[in-house]
Amino acid sequence: MIIFLYGQDSYRIGQKLTEIVSSYKAKNSSGFNFINLDFAENNINDFYEAVISDSFIPEKKLIIIKNVFRADSEALLKFLKSPTFAEASAGKKDFNKREDIILVAVSFSDTDKGKLFEYLTRKPNQAQNFKILKEYEIKNWARRFLNSFGIELASDALDYMASNSGNDLWKLDGEIRKIAVYKIQGIVTRSQVEELIAPGRGYNIFELTDALANKNKRKALSALHRALDNGEKPTELLGLLGWQVRNLLRFKSSPNAKPSDLKLHPFILEKLKSSAKFFSVNELNKIMSKIINLDLDFKTSDLDEKTALSLLISEL
C-alpha cells in the first residue's frame, strides 16, 4: 500500500502524517516496525534495508520517506515496480499491492513531475495534493480548530488573527493554542485577541532564525531559552519556526514577489530577504522535515517538549 502526500502546505501534510501514525500505533502498539526516513539525510539503501529487513514482531510495517524526490527517482521507481520484493506478499507484481507494508511518500512541493510522480499519483495509490488554502478556507479551518478547544471568536477577531498570521496555518496554530491557554469565557473579541497577539511579539522568531542563518547555534539556543523563560510554549515556538521556514521557501520560489503577493508585512519580507541568502531550498526542506517530525512527536509521544525543541535547534 502506497500513500503519497505532496504540495506546498507543509502544515497540513504534517497533520495528515500525525493522523496516519496515530492510527497505525493504535493497531500496532509495539512501534518497532515504524520507520521514519528522510532522503535529505538518508540514502536509498536505507529504504531498501527498511523494506527487506525482517522483524521479530509480526506487525505491519509503516515506512515514511520524506523528500522522496531527493533520491535517485529512476532507481526508486524500478524498486517499487519490481516483483522481487512483491513476491513476499502472495506473489503480487507491484509494491503498491503489498499488504504487509504501508509506504508513505512525502514531497513538500508539487513541481517534481516525472515518471516517479506519475507512478505515485496513479491508482491504486492514495495520493493527496495539499495546496495552499484560500483565505476563506483558512478561516474555516481556524474556526474548526478553535471549536476543538471550545473557543469562539468574533468575526473581526478572526479576521485580525488570520491577517496577523499572514494566513499561515503554522502560525495560526500557535496563536490559537495561546488563546486556549487563557481559557477566555464567551465569544473572544478582537481587543482580547490583540492583547494576546501583539504583532511585534511574533517577530522575535527572527532572533532565532537569524542566528540559525548565521550558523550561530549558541545564539539560537540562547534566543530559544529566553523565549521559553518568557512563557512561550514549545508548541507555539515550533509553529513560529515552521511559519518562518515556509515563508523562506515561498520567498525562495518567488524572490521578486511584492509583499501583497505573498501577503506578508513589509518588515517580514525585508527580514526574509536578509535570511534567505543563507539557505538553499534543499536545506529549508530538510529543516521543514525535522519540524514536522518534532510536531508529530509532540502529538504522539510523551517526550519533554523543551528538551526536544532545544535538541532540534542544536541539530539544524
Same domain (yes/no): 164, 275: yes
Query: Do residue 163 and residue 120 come from a single domain?
Result: no
Tell me: pLDDT of 29 over 50. Answer: yes
The last residue of a domain, from among 107, 129, 151 = 129
- Residues 43, 111, single domain; the answer is yes
Q: Which three cell numbers stand for residue 4?
A: 503519497
Most confident listed range (35-44, 87-96, 211-220): 35-44
Q: Are residue 139 and residue 280 in the same domain, yes or no?
A: yes
Distance CA 306, CA 308 (A): 5
Are 60 and 183 within one domain? no
Q: In sequence order, which ranges of the chain are alpha helices (DSSP H)?
A: 10-27, 44-52, 73-81, 83-86, 115-121, 135-148, 155-164, 169-182, 190-196, 205-213, 217-229, 234-253, 259-262, 266-276, 281-300, 305-315
Per-residue pLDDT band for 241 (boundaries 50, 70, 90) equals: confident
3-class secondary structure, 278:
coil
Average pLDDT over residues 233-249: 85
Q: Are 36 and 24 in contact (CB under 8 A)?
A: no
Identify the band that residue 198 occupies on the pLDDT scale cut at 50, 70 and 90: low
Q: Residue 219 and residue 201: Cα distance in Å, rounded?
A: 19
Amino acid 247: pLDDT = 83
pLDDT at residue 120 above 90? Answer: yes
Judge if 122 and 163 occupy the same domain: no
On whether both 167 and 275 belong to a single domain, the answer is yes
Q: Count the domains in the chain.
A: 2
Whether 200 and 156 map to the same domain: the answer is yes
User: Higher confidence at residue 105 or residue 93?
Assistant: 105
pTM of the model: 0.80
Domain boundary among 129, 164, 198: 129
Report cis status (omega within 30 of 0) of the bond before 124.
yes
Would you state the cell numbers that stand for residue 274, as one nine-digit string?
A: 536578509
Query: Are 149 and 29 within one domain?
Result: no
Nearest alpha carbon to residue 165 among 232, 276, 246, 221: 246
Give CA–CA dist 243/297, Å, rounded: 18
| Domain end call among 129, 158, 182 | 129
Q: Looking at the structure, tell me whether residues 107 and 236 fall in a common domain.
A: no
Shared-domain flag, residues 100 and 118:
yes
Residue 60 burial (CB count, 10 A): 16
**3-state DSSP of 180-213:** HHHCCCCEECHHHHHHHCCCCCHHHHHHHHHHHH
Range of the domain at 89: 2-129
Query: What band does 251 get if pLDDT is binned at 50, 70 and 90?
Result: confident
CATH code at 31? 3.40.50.300
pLDDT in tens, 259-316: 566 666 676 777 777 788 888 888 888 899 999 999 988 888 888 888 999 988 888 7
Whether residue 145 is found in the same domain as residue 273: yes
